Chains A and B, each alone.
Chain A
Amino acid sequence: AQSVTQLGSHVSVSEGALVLLRCNYSSSVPPYLFWYVQYPNQGLQLLLKYTSAATLVKGINGFEAEFKKSETSFHLTKPSAHMSDAAEYFCAVSGADMRFGAGTRLTVKP
């Protein structure tokens, strides 16, 4: 069965600092991988997706993620954090259905 593990339930960075949210996946077949963002009391919004094309995927709001098969990782990064990036971030893998990680809450300090 496919699954993802997000390392770190809470990440705190200063405004302007690098954002790094970690995700490792488990899949017996080439996976489709996703990052979603969720703001309080809202649904999930797609940030970016990997579908076996380019390994470096660029998404909305300046986020990007790199698929590394050798490390079974799909970490999310942003060079410079903004206050508006504060939210819950979910990594997900798509197979028979979509499986989500437990989420990482990003806090951005002024």
Chain B
Amino acid sequence: EAEVAQSPRYKITEKSQAVAFWCDPISGHATLYWYRQILGQGPELLVQFQDESVVDDSQLPKDRFSAERLKGVDSTLKIQPAELGDSAMYLCAVSDRRENTGELFFGEGSRLTVL
């Protein structure tokens, strides 16, 4: 069973529309991350949660992006309004529950295309 489930896998939208992504990890992962990966680049951190609290959202464009993890388990990432430059893969990850090495387990990702 995968550690992290993400949906939708693919999303095509027009600019100025609202989009939302969901991340559903196996319970027990206190720390959850959202990364953005632009084509041809490495993932970049958008937001980090510890349980339901935001630990780091310094790289999250807060004028249009929002993220929440209300019950400390699953999480949503929303973009409103979407812009052409938001086209990317959005990856959700959780940290290893057993070891404190920072190892991350990633979901399959949600690929966003903004037209």
Contacts and interface: CB of A to CB of B under 8 A. Distances in A.
A51 B89 CA distance: 28
A97 B48 contact: yes
Nearest to B41: A102
Contacts of B9: 41
B108 A100 contact: no
Contact of B102 (A42, A44, A94, A100): A94
Contacts of B103: 32, 34, 46, 49, 94
Contacts of B33: 97-98
A32 B100 CA distance: 10
A42 to B, nearest CB: 6
Interface residues of B, number: 26
Interface in B24-56: 33, 40-45, 48, 56
Contact of B56 (A32, A49, A97, A103): A97
A35 to B, nearest CB: 11
A70 to B, nearest CB: 23
Interface of B: 4, 6, 9, 33, 40-45, 48, 56, 89, 91, 93, 99, 101-109, 111
Closest 5 CB pairs of A and B: A94-B102, A100-B42, A43-B106, A44-B106, A43-B108
Interface of A: 9, 32, 34, 36, 41-46, 49, 51, 90, 92, 94-98, 100-103
Given A32-B103, A92-B42, A98-B33, 5 more contacts: A34-B103, A41-B89, A41-B111, A51-B101, A97-B56
